[in-house]
């Protein structure tokens, strides 16, 4: 029936900024009800969706428009203007093939994970007896591996390390006003400029290898048959590189989990390179730790949700963090338990740290890469003889995106 959801009338923009990950779960707790929770955000009416059925509803493209859904400050930092995230219908489907062809091909995914392993070994191999700042080093490792794998034109080491820091800044500053946000804007502007120039040069010289992601972006055809303009090409290259570097967040969380759970670490260390435990561990890290808080889209005019005809301009929010900790879906949701994914593989619309629905929709095309890279790094870390010196490993839930405060410092054994 219409209107069974808890209703919250005041605009909650400020509450979101203050409460971060705890905002939606807190609202749900304070305003229980069966239907979608109602609130307001940035002046718009909002309906909050939660649960596998709601995920399927949200990912039905008749129910959710992406064009105009993301605020400018998010586009100018995290995703870029004209990104695949902002497209609908045939334009979206055509652009999405660019990502799906590369990122879901097992040999290509395996090759990227292998590059990450080599770079990680090169970094920690030279640091015996020293302290390593895991978050920062993981970002460098991931940027070096993905630049090489994607066939980005040969920047030197300093340029790749700058790219790593810029990608971290773009993610770190998207959801917050102030200096972090300005850093994120500058980082995006700089990398879009560099990559646009690289695209123009490569097209002029015809030098790019066609079988790399870089080559694929250069020759990709839109729904209307046109090539990507250099700026959009740069935006989409960053939509491969930036989220790969963002696996640094999950890497820090993986080390956090190992520091708390020596039994988990031992089991990871004992397993062979193709074992299923590290994959289950990667899924559990993605489920358990806070990264994406929620996702947004605009309801088309006249959309009926749960018996209610939604007001013009309604924003649909999918409660990602809340759903990944819902006791209806997960036994003991606040227990870190990789074995839950050994007992049963994740269902499409239950585990949604990277979105839900079919891949052809807006679901993240980088899930295979994330799981492969994270399981490789988890095994490497677990086998490494490292100690965790005294530090602040708390993960503040009012900061989006969050991570262990210290960034996780490790002392690598001799
Ligand atoms: C979309 C999360 C890694 C590329 C998304 C979405 C989420 C997400 C929540 C949005 C789904 C939606 O809008 O409904 C993550 C997380 C990652 C990660 C937490 C871990 C670090 C990756 C990687 C790549 C990637 C490694 C590529 C190499 C993309 C692209 C989209 C996307 C291109 C846009 C898809 C579309 O709009 O159709 N990701 N992702 N992501 N992700 Fe990821």
pLDDT score recorded for residue 11 = 81
How many A from CA of 150 to the centre of ligand 1? 16
For 7-412, give the CATH class. mainly alpha
pLDDT score recorded for residue 33 = 79
pLDDT 10s digits, 133-146: 999 999 999 999 99
**Location of structure tokens 């807006």:** 362
Which residue, by CA, sits nearest to atom 33 of ligand 1? 239
pLDDT score recorded for residue 263 = 97
Cα distances (Å, whole numbers) of residue 183 to 77, 173, 286: 9, 7, 26
Neighbours of 7 (CB within 10 A): 12
How many A from CA of 366 to the centre of ligand 1? 6
Verify whether ligand 1 is closer than 6 Å to residue 372 (CB atom).
no
Tell me which residues of the chain have a pLDDT lower than 70. Answer: 1-5, 9, 208, 414
Pocket probe for ligand 1: among 243, 295, 322, the residue whose CB has the most ligand atoms within 8 Å is 243
pLDDT score recorded for residue 1 = 36
**Domain residue limits, the chain:** 7-412
Verify whether ligand 1 is closer than 6 Å to residue 362 (CB atom).
yes
Return d(Cα 289, Cα 402) in angstroms, integer: 9
Phi/psi of residue 132, nearest 5 degrees: -120, 130
């Amino acid at each position: 029936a219409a209107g069974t959801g808890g209703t919250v009338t005041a605009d909650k923009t400020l509450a979101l900024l203050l409460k971060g990950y705890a905002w939606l779960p807190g609202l749900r707790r304070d305003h229980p009800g069966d239907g979608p929770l109602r609130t307001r955000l940035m002046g718009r009416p909002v309906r909050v969706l939660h649960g596998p059925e709601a995920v399927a509803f949200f990912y039905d493209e008749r129910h959710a428009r992406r064009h105009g859904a993301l605020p400018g400050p998010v586009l100018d930092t995290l995703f870029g203007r004209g990104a695949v995230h902002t497209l609908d219908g045939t334009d979206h489907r055509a652009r999405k093939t660019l990502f799906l062809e590369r990122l879901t091909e097992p040999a290509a995914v395996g090759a990227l994970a292998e590059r990450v392993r080599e770079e990680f070994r090169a970094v920690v191999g030279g640091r015996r007896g020293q302290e390593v700042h895991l978050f920062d080093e993981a970002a460098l490792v991931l940027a070096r591996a993905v630049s090489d794998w994607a066939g980005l034109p040969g920047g030197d080491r300093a340029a790749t390390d700058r790219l790593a820091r810029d990608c971290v800044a773009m993610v770190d500053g998207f959801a917050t006003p102030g200096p972090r946000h300005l850093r994120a804007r500058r980082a995006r502007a700089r990398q879009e400029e560099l990559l646009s120039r690289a695209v123009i040069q490569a097209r002029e010289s015809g030098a790019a290898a066609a079988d790399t992601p870089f080559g694929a972006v250069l020759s990709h055809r839109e729904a209307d048959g046109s090539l990507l303009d250099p700026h959009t090409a740069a935006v989409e290259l960053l939509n491969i590189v930036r989220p790969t570097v963002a696996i640094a967040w999950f890497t820090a969380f993986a080390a956090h989990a190992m520091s708390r759970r020596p039994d988990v670490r031992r089991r990871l260390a004992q397993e062979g390179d193709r074992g299923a435990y590290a994959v289950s561990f990667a899924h559990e890290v993605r489920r358990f730790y806070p990264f994406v808080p929620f996702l947004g889209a605009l309801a088309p005019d006249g959309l009926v949700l749960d018996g209610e005809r939604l007001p013009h301009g309604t924003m649909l929010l999918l409660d990602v963090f809340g759903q990944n900790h819902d006791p209806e879906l997960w036994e003991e949701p606040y227990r870190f338990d990789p074995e839950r994914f050994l007992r049963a593989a994740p269902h499409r619309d239950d585990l949604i740290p990277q979105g839900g629905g079919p891949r052809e929709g807006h679901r993240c095309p980088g899930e295979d890469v994330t799981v492969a890279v994270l399981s490789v790094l988890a095994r490497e870390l677990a086998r490494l003889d490292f100690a965790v010196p005294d530090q602040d490993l708390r993960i503040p839930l009012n900061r989006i995106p969050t991570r262990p405060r210290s960034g996780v410092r490790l002392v690598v054994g001799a």
